[in-house]
Amino acid sequence: MKLLSFCSGCGALDYGMNKHVNAEIVLKCELDKTIRETIKHHYPNVVIKNDIMQLSVESIQKECKLSMKDELICVGGTPCPSFSVAGKRKSLDDPRGACLPKFLNLSIGLNARYIILENVRGLLSAKIMGKEPGSVMKIIVDQLEKAGYKVSYQLYDAKYFGAGTSRNRVILTAVKDDRALSFLKPTHGINDVPFVTLRNVLSTLPNDLKHNHTQFTAKRLTFFKMLKAGQHWRHLPKDQIPLAVTPGTLKTALDGKGGQTGLYRRLWWDRPSPTLLCTPTMNTTSLCHPDEHRPLSVEEYKLIQGYSLNYVIKGSIAKQYKQLGNCVPIKLSEAIGKVIKAHMEKDKNYKPCYNYVRCSRYKYKNYYTN
């Protein structure tokens, strides 16, 4: 089995999957120059390309020296802003959104045995201009099924698979000329198995570790010092709230459901971390350490996402945050790898699960090809 990775990021999706699949990685494709430096550090002998839109089936076959006998697995963590519910949602009309159909066309053209697509939950409700919500996903599935693939997809939160963080991701798997792959099977948050907490993860850090991190502004730090683990702006002294939060932001926070806990949020010790972001110091989505007066560090980001401390991420601290903040938690990608391995080896104990098991606080319809 040979693995081709598109829109690779710093590698968490491939890294976790390949712990179980153990395929030969022959291609990595990533537009960001700094991330390519991270990839090159870990995969010095792999073909590394920069722009998926410039690739062709023929050029990949030639550069990766693929033969007709090779079984391929194509993995794509295509850009998500065009589908995210937090963005303008231009979907496939956004140049970034165009990477998704390109990835599918390449994977189908290469006659990949397995195709794995990862994206944000907004992909499930994304629509083609003038069409109904969900029309993008319908096009994806139709294209794959017409090409002879059986498809399954569901929305998963990584904390249900042993990650120390909550992160909702759509995982679509497609297999050529065979029964659809199983849904992923949750290991935590069910059957009395608790979620992995921030304390569980960070308690493994050495006491003398040097933490690399950015810092909150002096003004914001003043108010963070008034809060304890698990608290946020609503726990500030009442006379301090108008000083801490601007009138416009305060109105939005008061009107918003859930109380906008990201404002001056100190993390809880005994819950999974919220979704890690590309920066931990944003005004409305702060990721402040439960006890210390600072944001989460790059080292803490690594452990929460499932990397070891010695996993090298290139670039400035800001660029390291960005790479790690865009990751799929490795425990989730490992769960994908387990399903593929069982299918590849035709494990007699492998029993595909097509029953819906809710693995997210968001409820969306799941799907598999009969």
Catalytically active residues are 80
3-state SS, residue 120? coil
Which helix (H) or strand (E) covers residue 6, if one does? strand 2-6
**Rounded Cα distance, 240 and 226, in Å:** 10
Which helix (H) or strand (E) covers residue 117, if one does? strand 114-119
Sheet architecture: strand order including 168-176: 47-49, 24-29, 2-6, 72-76, 114-119, 168-176, 149-157, 367-368
Structure tokens at 356: 């819906």
Assess contact for 298 and 289: CB atoms under 8 A: no
Within the chain, where are the H helices? Answer: 12-21, 33-42, 57-63, 99-109, 135-146, 198-202, 218-224, 241-244, 247-255, 298-305, 317-325, 330-344
3-state SS, residue 196? coil
HSE on the CB side for 157, CA within 13 Å?
A: 22
Contacts of residue 202, Cβ cutoff 8 Å, sequence gap at least 6: 300, 303, 304
DSSP states of 268-310: PSSSPBPPP-S-TT-TTS--B-SSSSSBPPHHHHHHHHT--TT
**Rounded Cα distance, 140 and 170, in Å:** 13
**Rounded Cα distance, 122 and 84, in Å:** 5
